[in-house]
Chain A
């Protein structure tokens, strides 16, 4: 068996073990709630509006509201903290449960282990959050009936595609960041808070430094501009938006760099459950 076949076989075994844990973790209830929250709210809005005799808002207004939900809830809270919960526990959770040696005693390169765990976390994060983003988007305007179907078949589908792609990229970027946090820190919440501050002040940083963040690229990819002004606009609107190709490749490059650091860190990791 050649090396790449072996790595693929080992990665498949790790994915099989990890996906079960990522999707069915009892302590992950709050992550599922974070993902389901906006779906529930959008669904409720649609249901109430559909039963109302008079429509008090337009389809366009609904999708501007959705743009706000996407920018302020999904990107800055939901996906961010969801990724903290999923990715920082990939290694840290196993240290707490004293099960990491199961992997470390197998002849698996730590780089293969780190990447496979990341992919398993990514599958869960994308399922929950990209799924939630798409479902909430579909639900928020559904009560407009024929108008909504017309919008969907026109610009709507592209808009849905961009939102979903942005959510996937957010999972990819934040996932890589929090995988490293789980490897280097005993309490990932502290570095998570630091990352949150860094992402929060991103708009106020010099443009060179802005590129070393995830939110910089994500803001550039949002298909609908949030109709806000003042301080909120600085947070939600990219002042110097990167073209889509640059935003996507930039985010992939940042994620790749961070994953490289994660793999290096995993390589030197030791089993020490008594910390």
Chain B
């Protein structure tokens, strides 16, 4: 196994009879990796396995070459912003981060300095001396983020880290992710806000019902779905006329007028043939074409394709 990566080798986790994740093989490189999937797809289970909060029923999890469940020392290099919205009672935001660093074994002065740094980076300096119980959802999220980054880990695992953040904080947090990834760290993010996943990810892992259904770069994931049609949006003056010609083609699965009436959404099994055909038809019919663009080269579309509206695998 690669000692410099996050590796999951044939990992399954069952909670009694309930499946968490099944037969997961993953090698997660540095950069931002997004875990995408509906509720109950296994995102949090996978993150809990990587951080050693749970143990695999079968298979092996290794982070930087070590099993987190067997070697607690590896937690010095892992920061985990969990989805659990609960905090030890009676602590201020400052104490929450500070005592976590003390649990790491940092001496008082260093723990104080690191706490201040982490709170500064997450914009929590001013509210640091207030009790966590009085924080808003967004502040709780940011103080958890501060706790996750305070010890300067090389692996950051972030479960729905943008939840509850206002647009400004979201932008700042995303910038932080990119900064960490740029420093050669592993940043693993789960999210269901797909347009943000699109903006921040170097690669995506798509989960459904405990199975990894696709992984890789967004373009790569898309091309993995060979049998699945891709969608192209053609903006033109006579979408109806264009549709009537395209229906004749065997690789065109669907052609429908866009909601605004000024374009045609085409689903095809062969994008190359479609683009060649479009050139010919446009010339023949004398259509005025404003744009031709893939309508689904983002995570959202791939996600819809693979998982479907009800969460079932396509």
Real binding pair: yes
Residues B84 and A98 in contact, CB atoms below 8 Å apart: yes
Interface string of B68-104 (1 = CB under 8 A from A): 0000111110101010101111100000000110111
On whether the beta carbons of B15 and A272 are closer than 8 Å, the reply is yes
- Nearest residue (CB) in A for B55 is A270
State whether B88 touches A17 (Cβ < 8 A): yes
Any chain A CB within 8 A of the CB of B54? yes
Assembly CA distance A245 to B74 (angstroms) = 44
Are B54 and A107 closer than 8 Å at their CB atoms? no
Taking the closest CB of chain B, its distance from the CB of A175, in whole angstroms, is 21
Chain A interface residue number, banded:
20 to 34
Residues facing A in B88-145 (CB within 8 A) are 88-90, 99-100, 102-105, 107
Q: Which residues of A contact B74 (CB under 8 A)?
A: 107
**A17 with B86, Cβ < 8 A, contacts A270-B55, A271-B54 known:** no
Which of A1, A106, A270, A273 is in CB contact (< 8 Å) with B84? Answer: A273
- Which chain A residues lie closer than 8 Å to B103 at the CB level? 10, 13-14, 103, 106-108
Please, which residues of chain A bring their CB within 8 A of the CB of B90?
20-21, 24
Q: Which of A1, A108, A270, A272 is most buried by chain B, counting CB atoms within 10 A of its CB?
A: A270
B283 in the interface, Cβ–Cβ < 8 Å?
Answer: no
Known: A106-B75, A106-B100, A107-B75. A99 touches B54 (CB 8 A): no
The answer on a CB contact under 8 Å between A98 and B48 is no
Q: How far is the CB of B200 from chain A (nearest CB, A)?
A: 23
Question: A98 to B76, Cβ gap below 8 A?
Answer: no
Q: Mark A101-132, 1 if CB is under 8 A from B, else 0.
A: 11111111110000000000000000000000
Verify if B276 is at the interface (C-beta below 8 Å from A). Answer: no
Contact of B82 among A101, A268, A274 (CB under 8 A): A101
Q: Is B53 an interface residue (CB 8 A)?
A: yes
Q: How many B residues are at the interface, by size bracket?
A: 20 to 34
- Which single residue of chain A is at the shortest CB-CB distance from B15? A272
Contact status B54-A272, CB under 8 Å: yes
As a 0/1 sequence over residues 2 to 34 of chain A, the CB contacts with chain B under 8 angstroms (1 = contact) are 000010011011101100110010000000000
Q: How far is the CA of A6 from the CA of B104 in the complex (A)?
A: 8
Scoring A14, A16, A107, A108 by chain B CB atoms within 10 A of each residue's CB, the highest score goes to A107
Determine the distance from Cα of A107 to Cα of B53 in the docked complex, in whole angstroms.
12
Among B15, B48, B53, B103, which residue has the most Cβ atoms of chain A within 10 A? B103
Which chain A residues lie closer than 8 Å to B53 at the CB level? 101, 104-105, 270-271
A131 to B139, CA, bound (A): 42
Distance in angstroms between the alpha carbons of A150 and B82 in the assembled complex: 63
Interface residue B51 (Cβ < 8 Å from any Cβ of A)? yes
Cα A272 to Cα B104 with chains together (Å): 23
Contact across chains for A13 and B99 when beta carbons are under 8 A apart: yes
The residues of A that contact B99 with a CB separation of less than 8 Å are: 13, 16-17
Contact B105 A9 (CB under 8 A): yes
The one of B15, B73, B105 that contacts A1, using a Cβ cutoff of 8 Å: B105
* Contact indicator per residue, chain A 86-109, by CB within 8 Å of chain B (1) or not (0): 000000000001110111111111
CB distance from B181 to the nearest CB of A (A): 21
Closest A residue, CB atoms, query B70: A267
The CA of A1 and the CA of B104, in the complex, are separated in Å by 12
Cβ A109 vs Cβ B72 within 8 A: yes
Pairwise interchain contact A99-B105, C-beta atoms closer than 8 A: no
Question: How many Å lie between the Cα of A215 and that of B231 in the bound state?
Answer: 76
Q: Please state if A105 and B75 are interface contacts (CB–CB under 8 Å).
A: yes
B184 to chain A, nearest CB (A): 22
A13-B106 Cα distance, complex, nearest whole Å: 10
Q: B82 to chain A: which residues have CB within 8 Å?
A: 101, 105
Report the bound CA distance from A9 to B107 in whole Å. Answer: 8
Q: Which residue of B lies closest to A8 (CB)?
A: B105
B196: min CB distance to chain A, Å: 25
Q: How far is the CB of A70 from chain B (nearest CB, A)?
A: 34
Report yes or no: B73 in contact with A107, Cβ–Cβ below 8 A. Answer: yes
Report the nearest B residue to A26, measured CB to CB.
B89
A20 to B72, CA, bound (A): 26
Pair A102/B88 contact, Cβ less than 8 Å: yes
Which residue of chain B has the shortest Cβ distance to A21 in the bound complex?
A: B89
B100 contact set on A, CB distance < 8 A: 102, 105-106
Contact of A101 among B15, B84, B89, B105 (CB under 8 A): B84
- Decide if B105 touches A6 in the complex (CB within 8 Å): yes
Chain A residue contacts of B80, Cβ below 8 A: 101, 105
Q: Most B CB atoms within 10 A — which of A9, A24, A102, A109?
A: A102
Chain B stretch 256-283: residues in CB contact (< 8 A) with chain A: none
Q: List 27 A-B contacts (CB under 8 A).
A: A13-B99, A13-B103, A14-B103, A17-B99, A21-B88, A21-B89, A99-B88, A101-B80, A101-B82, A101-B84, A102-B88, A105-B51, A105-B78, A105-B80, A105-B100, A106-B75, A106-B100, A107-B72, A107-B73, A107-B75, A107-B104, A109-B72, A110-B72, A270-B53, A270-B55, A271-B48, A272-B54
> 7 other contacts beyond A10-B105, A105-B100, A106-B104, with CB at 8 A cut-off?
A16-B99, A21-B89, A98-B86, A99-B89, A102-B88, A268-B55, A270-B55
Query: Which residues of A are interface residues toward B (Cβ below 8 A)?
Result: 1, 6, 9-10, 12-14, 16-17, 20-21, 24, 97-99, 101-110, 268, 270-274
Kindly list the 7 A-B residue pairs having the minimum CB-CB distance in the complex, ordered from nearest. Answer: A106-B103, A13-B102, A98-B86, A107-B75, A271-B53, A270-B54, A6-B105
User: Measuring CB to CB, which residues of chain B are less than 8 angstroms from any residue of chain A?
Assistant: 15, 48, 51-55, 72-76, 78, 80, 82, 84, 86-90, 99-100, 102-105, 107
